[in-house]
């Protein structure tokens, strides 16, 4: 199976502009993000999908410098951007990973992809998000290319184009949806925040890198949780945003998301 992993990235984030360029242990956030995904054994071809905006020329430069595959496309229509990138690289299955998760554990990436491969005849789409149980920032979604293509052809709502996959997981009557839950039985999705949207998120992630990266660049979820147990003050840095995600703005439009899966700020 030709798997293509698409990491969407742009400099024009409204809440934290240029966040993918922020430094983490001597390199940009984007470079660290790709580095972690590359440690996955099953991610296949890794493609950075950015926009055609002039401001994202810097992302193209970073990709050329690091010999990374790149696709440049629509700014707002991420469904189109993912589809075109996947098509360009002849994907049979497409993995979606956002670029603002530089603490993502490559073991979790492999777990989700492995589950999809083992059950590819049973599921059209597999993620670890429906429902989510891992700490926020370990987001992995994978689907057959023809499923992504069907969504690309049929999704009409703005949120379906902007967030790539809602048309799929919002229609369990049309698609067979699989989910990977944290094997511990715990649910930290609303209590632990490892993604970057706000300055406090970056401060938290930077300190985690400062503590762990040079001891073991391949540090993972357990290492982070152990660090937070030994230094609980770190967790307070961005805890006011725990549970804050894009669902909060679309609860009246989403059929499969309940209010307890997001936080209003």
> What CATH code is carried by the domain that includes residue 180?
3.90.550.10
Assess if residue 42 is contained within a domain.
yes
Whether 120 maps to a domain, the answer reads yes
Is residue 179 one of the residues assigned to a domain? yes
The predicted structure's pLDDT at residue 55? 96
250: phi then psi, degrees, rounded to nearest 5: -135, 25
- Give, for all 265 residues of the chain, the pLDDT tens digit: 999 999 999 998 778 989 999 999 999 999 999 999 999 999 999 999 999 999 999 999 999 999 999 999 999 999 999 999 999 999 999 999 999 999 999 999 999 999 999 999 999 999 999 999 999 999 999 999 999 999 999 999 999 999 999 999 999 999 999 999 999 999 999 999 999 999 999 999 999 999 999 999 999 999 999 999 999 999 999 999 999 999 999 999 999 999 999 999 8
| Residues across the chain | 265
- Domain extent, residue 12, equals 3-189
- Which residue is it, tokens 């700014």? 75
Domain contains 262: no
Residue 232 burial (10 A CB sphere; 0-12, 13-18, 19+): exposed
Q: Report the domain count for the chain.
A: 1
Instruction: Measure the CA–CA gap between 132 and 190, rounded to whole angstroms.
Output: 9
Tokens of 12: 């024009």
Nearest-Å Rg of the Cα atoms of the chain is: 17
User: Are residues 136 and 263 in contact, defined by beta-carbon separation less than 8 angstroms?
Assistant: no
Distance CA 260, CA 190 (A): 9
Can you tell me the distance from the alpha carbon of 159 to that of 79, in angstroms, rounded to the nearest whole number? 10
In a domain, 113, yes or no: yes
Q: Which tokens in the block code for residue 28? A: 């940009």
Contact 107, 183 (CB under 8 A): no
- DSSP secondary structure string for all residues of 106-125: HHHHHHHHHHHHHTTTT-SE
Sign of the alpha-carbon torsion through 242, 246, 247, 251: positive
Q: Which residue has the tokens 């670890």?
A: 128
DSSP states of 146-210: HHHHHHHHH--SHHHHHSSSHHHHT-TTTS-EEE---TTS---TTT-B-S-SSHHHHHHHHHHHH
pLDDT of residue 28: 97
On whether the CB atoms of residues 180 and 128 are closer than 8 A, the answer is yes
Residue 258 lies inside a defined structural domain of this protein:
no
Q: Tokens for 88, please give them.
A: 């360009």
Other Cβ atoms less than 10 A from the Cβ of 14: the count is 6
CB atoms within 10 A of CB 141: 23
Stated as kind and residue range, the H or E segment containing 78 is helix 78-88
pLDDT at 117: 98
Query: Mapping DSSP to helix (H, G, I), strand (E, B) and coil, where does residue 64 land?
Result: helix
pLDDT at 75: 95
- Residue 28 covered by a domain: yes
Is residue 79 domain-resident?
A: yes
pLDDT at 15: 83
């Amino acid at each position: 199976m030709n798997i293509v992993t698409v990491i969407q990235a742009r400099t024009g984030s409204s809440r934290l502009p240029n966040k993918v360029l922020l430094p983490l242990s001597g390199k940009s956030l984007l470079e660290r993000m790709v580095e972690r995904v590359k440690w996955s054994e099953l991610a296949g071809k890794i493609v950075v999908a950015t926009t055609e905006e002039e401001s994202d020329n810097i992302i193209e430069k970073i990709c050329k410098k690091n010999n990374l595959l790149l696709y440049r496309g629509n700014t707002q229509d991420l469904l189109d951007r993912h589809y075109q990138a996947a098509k360009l690289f002849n994907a049979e299955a497409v993995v979606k990973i956002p670029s603002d998760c530089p603490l993502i554990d490559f073991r979790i990436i492999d777990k989700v992809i492995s589950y999809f491969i083992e059950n590819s005849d049973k599921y059209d789409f597999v993620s670890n998000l429906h429902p989510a149980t891992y700490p926020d920032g370990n987001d992995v979604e994978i689907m057959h290319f023809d499923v992504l293509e069907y969504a690309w052809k049929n999704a009409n709502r703005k949120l379906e184009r902007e967030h790539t996959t809602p048309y799929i997981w919002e229609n369990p009557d049309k698609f067979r949806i699989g989910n990977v839950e944290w094997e511990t039985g715990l649910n930290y999705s609303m209590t632990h925040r490892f993604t970057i949207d706000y300055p406090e998120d970056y401060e938290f992630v930077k300190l985690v890198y400062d503590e762990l990266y040079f001891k073991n660049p391949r540090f993972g979820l357990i290492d982070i949780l152990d660090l937070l147990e030994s230094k609980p003050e770190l967790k307070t840095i961005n805890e006011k945003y725990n549970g804050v995600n894009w669902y909060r703005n679309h609860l009246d439009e989403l059929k499969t998301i309940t209010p307890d899966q997001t936080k209003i700020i």
